[in-house]
Structure 1
């Protein structure tokens, strides 16, 4: 690969400004050059990271909102005839022998008389949302690497997701509702990926893991806000939940459009050097502004690798390069297993013998220590071993949660929380792991594919949960077996802790070959 030669010089004298600096034997890479500019963490970078990461709040709300809007409401007998008190399934009772505990408009199940519908019907809206995420991720993911960039795709995704969520309030039946959930999921697909990649590319490698975890905290805040909003509107229509979560999302989108900067790495890789420099000047700490002078003469950064081809060329590169595909396949398999637990468990809380509002709150709160563990230990944790360990723990406790009997029922919520905490931590580490495994020009696409694998696992969650509500299957048992088996694929991945991230495929491939040669020499 040709060397990239953006040079930094300190204008401490007239001589340094008027004469070009002497050529070094080894020119600094793009990564090292940006490190000199933004390696220290300043307030401008913190505010940018906080603003971008706030997108996760609205992402979380739309992801888990069906826990309340699509919940099976509680009911009571209105007569002692027909053995009402001894029957747990209202489908076996006459309609006039029971009634809902709350107004019928509090859930789509009671409003549209779906209490006896097939599990595939009642689980359709949530599954449609995840199917939309899956399709949207495949269709939109590469736009952040190719044409739109991280910021513009984040803005458009947040705006369209919030608008489609707002339109959901006009649903008249389960089919219209499911179609709008599909659109909402499609628009939402790239929010988390764009936010995570953009925040980590705005800082130096020293702060990459810590800044990435800000998004996980924001996701937790969004998740945690749902039971509060639902409880305050517990007697109102389920449509109010969509109103209170979509309108703030629309306002937030405007803030992204006007105040968020594009990734300087992406701008440089796309050949937009002047914009990249302007962005660096706006976010670099004041102590670095004195020598932020770039010289672009002789720059021969291999932009062909990233600029040519259509918007799906990045996925093509990931598949064609053997070393990249050997990394992409395992992380996607791991993501599938984690996604089934991470997205499926909260949807199944209604099947546990515990208060729904409290159980959702506890699950959301369990993400706080998960994010805290990640942010405090990410610099010390080996990525590969951590992902393997947390997926195993999650799988074991999920299977234990599925065991029947009065003794196990008492500990169900505790076992579920441990499993969900472990899955959340594995989720966090896997995303940071993925960012470090792939270079800048394909990083967003690779991360998006991993997130789509997570979402694909989530597609099956609502169906399993709906089946469990009819005592057809133990969803938690399936969750545990899947995440445990998928987590084993972590052994196929290289360790990336403390490693400098690359910007082109050739640079990463050169590093991969060098590592293989080193291992070969040791074995020889």
Structure 2
């Protein structure tokens, strides 16, 4: 009787692999191990999208700021620096800078309700929330990582450019919503695409490189805003959107699709071509090795939301998604809340945001050098607890210098936890749902960000514990959800839900033995 096992390809003289790989991850691991530069260069280009993401996320700190004013009539017993300008005659006061400096003075909404003045920022984060749910699955189904990254970044930057021509606060808020909607998938697409084209030893470091780019985007804002402090807020959007559009052209022309995604969609020839470019491999050799791997079940045509359905239909995937989103909620509340609320401590807005942005650099550097050595669970939990304790102490101590010091340590720890959480999420889910899972976790971060401004306002009006104290309590409580998650340090990435489930069963058996 004939041997039912198909013949495996044999290596050639130009082929350094002596035994055929048994999985797609093995193919990519071996192709990329000895040819680092092509993959690293593309991964860096992909990670640059985080730079523009960081700018658009925090740009409203300056464009939507409450401008300062002064009295114009002296002597005037009715006009004082502590007066409410809404109770004063328009001839009794004037803005310190041109009225076009921020949207508050430009659109004359200084006396509007907090709902109106805060509408643009809320619209942006609501757009992020809605876009994350709608766009996330497209990267795993029809569009792929590269196309969705281009579409998301292009939408965000074009909407940002058009925002500079807004005529009123409602048009402005609508364009901020569109920008946030497009921005929602940038981080997830960039993280997944950049880490799927490099070998395992570079996976964590490349992921952290993207976070560095976000920090530099964040850090560039105080400088751009300070240089243009006497110019219109519209200038800030021009400065940040035009380079972003040029970057999108670079992505469209030079970035390749993830070979893992191509193969899971049944597009083996394209996967071979991409791997050949990234690893300088002979196409016939790659075809032979990929032929030994059966096309994956997920390569069949599926509807757009199949990957999200898998996350909720599979009990193990649902539990992981829910736990990671809960962790993300706590981390996001502190990560976004600390920079937005540091003005409550009485520090200069340019200096305070610069200090917060600069604290991200040692955070990412620390994670970059130790991500290969750290256990995911213990390190994530440690930094969450540290952030929570420092945040609570920030609300308790009275010294302003101690408060700013504790605030920076808390933000530093939350930022490190953010980085580890994203890498951890990549390793907990297979290729077919990885982008969707990453986006869902980022949704948890965004939901935490939505609550942050409300708590900051409560802390400013009533007691600081309502902001910093609540931040600390929430992130500590959310850390509990880390315990049931499995450890993933150094694991191979799976490609299908079935493969992930088989791996989980095997690991449980090995652990029990």
Work out whether the TM-score is over 0.5: yes
Deviates more, 1:186-195 or 1:33-42: 33-42
Aligned-residue offset at 1:208 = 0.5
| Residue of structure 2 in register with 1:388 after alignment | 381
2:367 pairs with 1:374: yes
- Residues 35-60 of structure 1 show CA distances to partners (whole Å, capped at 9, x for unaligned) of 11112352211210111010001000
TM-score (norm 2): 0.92
Aligned-residue offset at 1:302 = 5.2
Aligned-residue offset at 1:114 = 3.0
SS in 1 for 2:198: coil
Aligned-residue offset at 1:4 = 12
**Which residue of 327, 331, 337 maps to 1:334?**
327
SS in 2 for 1:99: strand
| Residue of structure 2 in register with 1:425 after alignment | 416
Aligned-residue offset at 1:96 = 4.2
| Residue of structure 2 in register with 1:182 after alignment | 177
Once residues 366 and 348 of structure 1 are traced to their aligned partners in structure 2, the CA distance between those partners, rounded to angstroms, is: 16
Deviates more, 1:381-390 or 1:294-303: 294-303
CA contact (8 A) 1:8 1:33 kept: no
Aligned-residue offset at 1:404 = 6.6
CA RMSD of aligned residues (A): 2.6
SS in 1 for 2:34: coil
Q: 1:90 to 1:350 in 2, by over 3 A?
A: farther
CA contact (8 A) 2:390 2:410 kept: yes
Aligned-residue offset at 1:6 = 11
CA contact (8 A) 1:213 1:428 kept: yes
| Residue of structure 1 in register with 2:98 after alignment | 103
- Residues 467-489 of structure 1 show CA distances to partners (whole Å, capped at 9, x for unaligned) of 54545774223322222211221
Once residues 293 and 216 of structure 2 are traced to their aligned partners in structure 1, the CA distance between those partners, rounded to angstroms, is: 44
2:226 pairs with 1:231: yes
Once residues 31 and 184 of structure 1 are traced to their aligned partners in structure 2, the CA distance between those partners, rounded to angstroms, is: 35
**Which residue of 34, 55, 63 maps to 2:28?**
34
- Residues 199-221 of structure 1 show CA distances to partners (whole Å, capped at 9, x for unaligned) of 10011111100111110111111
Structure 1: which 5+ runs fail to align?
A: none
SS in 1 for 2:164: helix
Aligned pairs for 1:508-523 (under 5 A) are: 508-521=500-513
**Which residue of 274, 280, 289 maps to 1:279?**
274
Once residues 127 and 430 of structure 1 are traced to their aligned partners in structure 2, the CA distance between those partners, rounded to angstroms, is: 25
CA contact (8 A) 1:337 1:482 kept: yes
Once residues 130 and 445 of structure 2 are traced to their aligned partners in structure 1, the CA distance between those partners, rounded to angstroms, is: 13
2:193 pairs with 1:198: yes
Once residues 205 and 511 of structure 2 are traced to their aligned partners in structure 1, the CA distance between those partners, rounded to angstroms, is: 30
SS in 2 for 1:379: coil
SS in 2 for 1:371: helix
| Residue of structure 1 in register with 2:482 after alignment | 490
Once residues 79 and 149 of structure 2 are traced to their aligned partners in structure 1, the CA distance between those partners, rounded to angstroms, is: 52
Structure 2: which 5+ runs fail to align?
A: none
| Residue of structure 2 in register with 1:359 after alignment | 352
Once residues 459 and 101 of structure 2 are traced to their aligned partners in structure 1, the CA distance between those partners, rounded to angstroms, is: 22
- Residues 254-275 of structure 1 show CA distances to partners (whole Å, capped at 9, x for unaligned) of 0000000111111111111111
Q: 1:293 to 1:179 in 2, by over 3 A?
A: closer
Once residues 235 and 56 of structure 2 are traced to their aligned partners in structure 1, the CA distance between those partners, rounded to angstroms, is: 13
Q: 1:193 to 1:8 in 2, by over 3 A?
A: farther
Once residues 389 and 488 of structure 2 are traced to their aligned partners in structure 1, the CA distance between those partners, rounded to angstroms, is: 27
SS in 2 for 1:170: coil
- Residues 466-517 of structure 1 show CA distances to partners (whole Å, capped at 9, x for unaligned) of 4545457742233222222112211121110111111111111011112223
| Residue of structure 2 in register with 1:401 after alignment | 394
**Which residue of 117, 125, 130 maps to 1:122?**
117
Once residues 166 and 85 of structure 1 are traced to their aligned partners in structure 2, the CA distance between those partners, rounded to angstroms, is: 38
Aligned-residue offset at 1:294 = 2.5
Deviates more, 1:192-201 or 1:72-81: 72-81
Aligned-residue offset at 1:112 = 2.5
TM-score (norm 1): 0.90
| Residue of structure 1 in register with 2:12 after alignment | 11
SS in 1 for 2:70: strand
Once residues 390 and 10 of structure 2 are traced to their aligned partners in structure 1, the CA distance between those partners, rounded to angstroms, is: 56
Deviates more, 1:447-456 or 1:295-304: 295-304
2:429 pairs with 1:438: yes
| Residue of structure 1 in register with 2:160 after alignment | 165
Once residues 439 and 341 of structure 1 are traced to their aligned partners in structure 2, the CA distance between those partners, rounded to angstroms, is: 29
Number of paired residues?
Answer: 507
Q: 1:82 to 1:34 in 2, by over 3 A?
A: same
Q: 1:5 to 1:253 in 2, by over 3 A?
A: farther
**Which residue of 61, 64, 89 maps to 2:58?**
64
Once residues 349 and 424 of structure 1 are traced to their aligned partners in structure 2, the CA distance between those partners, rounded to angstroms, is: 16
CA contact (8 A) 2:64 2:104 kept: yes
Q: 1:292 to 1:211 in 2, by over 3 A?
A: farther
CA contact (8 A) 2:222 2:354 kept: yes
Deviates more, 1:115-124 or 1:220-229: 115-124
Aligned-residue offset at 1:395 = 1.5
Once residues 82 and 360 of structure 1 are traced to their aligned partners in structure 2, the CA distance between those partners, rounded to angstroms, is: 36
| Residue of structure 2 in register with 1:453 after alignment | 444
| Residue of structure 2 in register with 1:348 after alignment | 341
CA contact (8 A) 2:387 2:414 kept: yes
SS in 1 for 2:374: coil
Aligned-residue offset at 1:11 = 1.9
CA contact (8 A) 1:6 1:294 kept: no
2:286 pairs with 1:293: yes
